[in-house]
Structure 1
Amino acid sequence: FVAGLTVALFAFSQATTRFFADRFVDRHSPSGVACVLLATMAAGVLIVFFSPAPPVSMLGFALLGIGSSAIFPLAISAAAQRTDRPAAINVAALSQISFIAFLLGPPLLGFVSDHWGIRSAYGIGIPFIALSLLTAGSLGRRPAKSAVPADEAPDPARKMLPQAGEA
């Protein structure tokens, strides 16, 4: 029961955070949001790794769900916005790397769990989260407030008067 509830809690926290993440990215920046999410994920991993009881582990898994909610969409967006190659190639390359990790990760984590315990398998993620924090700046900074250049922006002091010939 506890394991099933924990999986549901993880999925719920991940889905809920993903639903609201775009608003935070628009307000702040992709790299800033990624750093907060990665720090939350690191806290979740550490809680799970050092947890003395199931309710504490459940909190860690909820934090893991929050932290992992928008990292991949942010990375895909950053890959699509790079200008070194066509967007499709960058997105395909990132997707291929993710697919390889998806295929190799579970057996490797199972091997570690089998030999050194399941807590050790969660501990393996800590260096990868640290590496992700170091590279989060490549996801992009705060977007510009206005896409309209200042010389083309309408003057707010100028009143809208009808032009000649308009009634």
Structure 2
Amino acid sequence: MAYRGVIVFAFSLGEIAARLRGESWIRRFGEMCIGSNVMILGGVVLLPVVLSQNPTLILVVVLFFGFVSANFFPTAMRNAAEVDLEKAGVNIVDVNILSMAGMLLGPPLVGYIAEHYSITHTMVVLAIIWL
């Protein structure tokens, strides 16, 4: 159980690496590829790891998941601004409110559901929702 902190560190390291290289990847592969296809790949890879007991596999996949998920929010903000140039500020505020609501309400909701069912089942459902 001591590897939990290392897994959180791996996720953060993946996010840092993605934010450093994310802009060049978005320019090279496009927003659609990074914003949707890579996120789907992240969800597909995350699903079997939830059921895995191998710490090395979990560590590598969580690092990868941090890498692919880090560029989702900036891509969503950019797309919100480009939908309607006259209402770009309102669209960005709406996306920001939704992300804050998810950040504030998501973890307690996940904990509540996990307490009544199990953390494994809850994480499987989250991976499926991610897809």
TM-score, normalising length from structure 2? 0.88
Matched, 1:86 2:101: no
2-structure distance, mates of 1:126, 1:117: 14
Aligned residues: 130
2-structure distance, mates of 1:117, 1:48: 16
Matched, 1:74 2:75: yes
Conservation of the 8 A alpha-carbon contact between 1:47 and 1:56: no
Matched, 1:108 2:109: yes
After TM superposition, list the pairs within 5 Å mapping 1:14-163 onto structure 2.
14-83=15-84, 85-130=86-131
> Which amino acid is 1:114 matched to?
E
Deviations 1:115-155 (A, max 9, x none): 2222222112233322xxxxxxxxxxxxxxxxxxxxxxxxx
TM-score, normalising length from structure 1? 0.71
Q: Identity over aligned residues, as a percent?
A: 22
> Which amino acid is 1:48 matched to?
V
Give 3-state SS (helix, strand or coil) of 2:6's partner.
helix
Give 3-state SS (helix, strand or coil) of 1:124's partner.
helix
Deviations 1:54-75 (A, max 9, x none): 2222122112211211000000
Using a 3 Å threshold, how does the CA distance of structure 1 residues 60 and 70 change in structure 2: closer, same or farther?
same
Could you say which residue in structure 2 is the equivalent of 1:165? none
- 1:36 deviates by 3.6
> Which amino acid is 1:110 matched to?
G
Conservation of the 8 A alpha-carbon contact between 2:44 and 2:127: no
Q: Unaligned 5+ residue runs, structure 2?
A: none
> Which amino acid is 2:75 matched to?
L
2-structure distance, mates of 1:58, 1:33: 22
Higher relative contact order by CA 8 Å / sep ≥ 6: 1 or 2? 2
Give the CA RMSD over aligned residues.
1.7
Q: Unaligned 5+ residue runs, structure 1?
A: 131-167
Q: Which has the larger radius of gyration?
A: 1
2-structure distance, mates of 1:98, 1:26: 24
2-structure distance, mates of 1:117, 1:18: 33
Could you say which residue in structure 2 is the equivalent of 1:137? none
